Structure 1
């Protein structure tokens, strides 16, 4: 289970603080984490993440300046079991236009929402295994709130250069999802946690970590392929 891969022994006070107060102090915290260094060009697709209350959040963002379109892909992996939820948000000129959500648990179904330029719902549907149903006004409001929150959060993380990197761990080095071989600068506690997970693993270890101008932070290590969650060219 993915809960076994959470780096509990290696989580610094910084990430504990990040987890508890992310909703209210993310811009300030990210600025502190990275010394507010934000003058280099931003990548076409920006990846970041953080440790939430009940799981690990991975966040990818792509901006199409010609179409004034911003696409966010959020992957939430629960700390309890193997529940993974993927949500795609599209914004045009800062206005939420689309939400698509899928989950590994069939009981949660799939959600699709579309909005017009004024923010009014033009299409909504929750597809469950045995039926389709509409969403309540509260459900829709929650999706809109989460979308705005994640958009603002991605702004702060990108400004602060807090980047997510993932791959496969083997013999002290990582083959990243894009095929590079790297040796992350983990601290002793993180390396000890990885060694412990590796000792009990029956297969290859997936690993995810955050890098910023201020250092490297292990996010998650588990007997799982995190690369399969990364968006593909077709996603955008």
Structure 2
């Protein structure tokens, strides 16, 4: 018994369809229920080829990026530190003989060297323009104002005095900030009390006292001695 017979029994008040109608309906139903024959299809490589091309592009891009990242030109030369952090290796055709540096001002440092020519130059480099320096060796002293471009200590002028060349020297330097209470000019505190609370830098004791009263302040500085290049040694003829 098929679904058409069941349908006729379930709805008794409706006249049954004709035999011709039932036959056509059963034919259509048989056609729908029959397994559809799958058409033969030819394999093609459209998508895989496209995927391969895309993959090749990605791989090429990765290789190029890797090369760009991995390959670098020659490393740039490191920049020379400022003169107030490390004195230059040369000064106006003179070679660096000795040097010292301090990271703060209102401090002191000693420079030891042995000059060989009257061209000796002693240069003070200060981070803060207008800084005040004082230098002393034994009974001789000299002072001035320094900045990043350097300032000369006149103690090097003693190279013209007999006996100053060809021996070791130890010169002590102090550097103070520009607003340090320092009396400017020699004899500024004569008569006594003329300085009005300022320090007359005429001795190492006064410089030490000023440094202790101020305490270390910002402002790096360095000092260096420069001398004429040493003459090349000449070997005797064999």
Is the TM-score greater than 0.5? no
Task: Pick the structure with greater CA Rg.
Answer: 2
Greater RCO structure (CA 8 Å; 6+ sep): 2
Q: Which structure dedicates a bigger proportion of its chain to strand? A: 1
Task: Name the TM-score, length of structure 2 as normaliser.
Answer: 0.23
